[in-house]
Amino acid sequence: MAVSPSTGGEGAAPGSQTLLRGLAILEAVAGGARDLAALSAALGTTRSTTHRLAAALVEQRYLTFAPREGYGLGPKLLELGFRAQQEAPVTRVARPHLERLSADCGDTIHLGVLEGDWALYLDKLPGRRRIEISSRVGERQPVWSTGLGKALILDLDEARWRGFHRLGDARGGHSPDLETWLSRMRAYAARGIAYDREENEPEVRCIAGPIRDASGAIVAAFSVTSTVQYMDEARMEELAGTVREVARAISRDLGWSG
């Protein structure tokens, strides 16, 4: 994760500049920086300034520090992240529905929203399979190749779809050619569900449904994810009706009457 050396801006007030530099330290540590040299390089500040800021963050539990290991993200961020997750209306409303779905199907469940050009994971319910899906809450995933991402853009026009496909090509995605991808998106939009057939990660498949608010707009989506071993074509089709039903139920709880 790159952090701009000019964090804070030349015209920023001293207090706001300190705040922005502190936030930049958190981002740098999240991106893998562990020692003062790496943090100073990321921020473009002196070692003494960096040490002072990092020490304050350690004192307030936003960072941890261990000799020979360096800096790490602290427990205060876990607390804040958990609170933010719980306060998100769609997360709170969707959670009981997704827990029941997880208990019924045994697969990994993701909940996410559109953030710019990416799908941002707000929640994850690990499955009961003897596999581990390498994803985490707060992670951003491609829209153009994930089932959840495609479910988030089902209502967009084809011009926007083409834009997302171009992003996938530019960023080294594994999506099929444009016409094949558009044909699939039209079918997904007609059915109200979307699929990922190993487009985002080899051997991993998912089926996803859009979540709507009272206005009828898609505000989130969820996916049921597993490996090919447990998610062949027949099972994906079998899950389609269930995913649509759960998506409708969550949407109704958010005020949708469609």
Per the structure, the count of domains in the chain is 2
Which phi and psi (to 5°) does residue 173 adopt? -70, 170
7, part of any domain:
no
CATH of the domain at 45: 1.10.10.10
6, part of any domain:
no
59, part of any domain:
yes
Four-residue CA torsion sign, 11, 15, 16, 22: positive
C-beta neighbour count of 174 within 10 angstroms: 13
162, part of any domain:
yes
129, part of any domain:
yes
**Structural element, H or E, at residue 123:** strand 118-125
The pLDDT of 93-121, averaged and rounded, is 94
Asked if residue 153 and residue 109 are part of one domain, the reply reads yes
Asked if residue 139 and residue 46 are part of one domain, the reply reads no
DSSP per-residue string spanning 165-222: HHHHHHTT-----HHHHHHHHHHHHHHT-EEEESSSSTTEEEEEEEEE-TTS-EEEEE
Does the pLDDT value for residue 84 go beyond 70? no
Does the pLDDT value for residue 80 go beyond 90? no
Look at residue 168 in the predicted model and tell me its pLDDT. 77
Asked if residue 92 and residue 47 are part of one domain, the reply reads no
Look at residue 88 in the predicted model and tell me its pLDDT. 60
Find which of 30-34, 162-166, 244-248 is predicted with most confidence, using mean pLDDT: 244-248
Q: Provide the percentage of residues in the chain whose pLDDT is more than 70.
A: 90
Describe the strand order of the beta sheet including 108-115 as a list of residue ranges: 140-142, 118-125, 108-115, 218-227, 204-212, 194-197
Look at residue 258 in the predicted model and tell me its pLDDT. 78
Asked if residue 152 and residue 70 are part of one domain, the reply reads no
Question: Any alpha helices (H) in the chain, and if so which ranges?
Answer: 14-30, 36-43, 47-59, 75-87, 89-105, 147-152, 158-170, 178-191, 233-253
pLDDT digits (tens, 9 = 90+) for 19-29: 999 999 999 99
4, part of any domain:
no
**Residue 9 pLDDT class (50, 70, 90 cuts):** very low
Asked if residue 139 and residue 39 are part of one domain, the reply reads no
| Domain limits for position 73 | 14-78
Among 38, 54, 78, the domain boundary falls at 78
Asked if residue 237 and residue 143 are part of one domain, the reply reads yes
Q: Could you tell me which residues are beta bridge partners of residue 140?
A: 120
Residues in the chain: 258
**Residue 187 pLDDT class (50, 70, 90 cuts):** very high
Asked if residue 24 and residue 71 are part of one domain, the reply reads yes
The pLDDT of 165-189, averaged and rounded, is 84
Look at residue 2 in the predicted model and tell me its pLDDT. 35
5, part of any domain:
no
142, part of any domain:
yes
CATH of the domain at 202: 3.30.450.40
Asked if residue 223 and residue 130 are part of one domain, the reply reads yes
Look at residue 86 in the predicted model and tell me its pLDDT. 61
Report in angstroms the alpha-carbon separations of 32 from 10, 68, 168, 175. Answer: 26, 15, 25, 29
Does the pLDDT value for residue 173 go beyond 50? yes
Amino acid identity, residue 60? Answer: Q
pTM above 0.85, yes or no: no
Take residue 32 and report the two structure tokens written for it. Answer: 């893998």
Residue of higher predicted confidence among 200 and 72: 72
Asked if residue 96 and residue 38 are part of one domain, the reply reads no
Asked if residue 124 and residue 74 are part of one domain, the reply reads no
Decide if 43 contacts 78 (C-beta within 8 A). Answer: no
Asked if residue 150 and residue 28 are part of one domain, the reply reads no
Distance (Å, whole) CA 40 – CA 55: 13
Q: Rounded to 10 degrees, what is the CA torsion of 222, 228, 234, 235? A: -40
Distance (Å, whole) CA 190 – CA 127: 29
pLDDT digits (tens, 9 = 90+) for 140-151: 999 999 999 999
Distance (Å, whole) CA 195 – CA 178: 16
Among 26, 55, 78, the domain boundary falls at 78
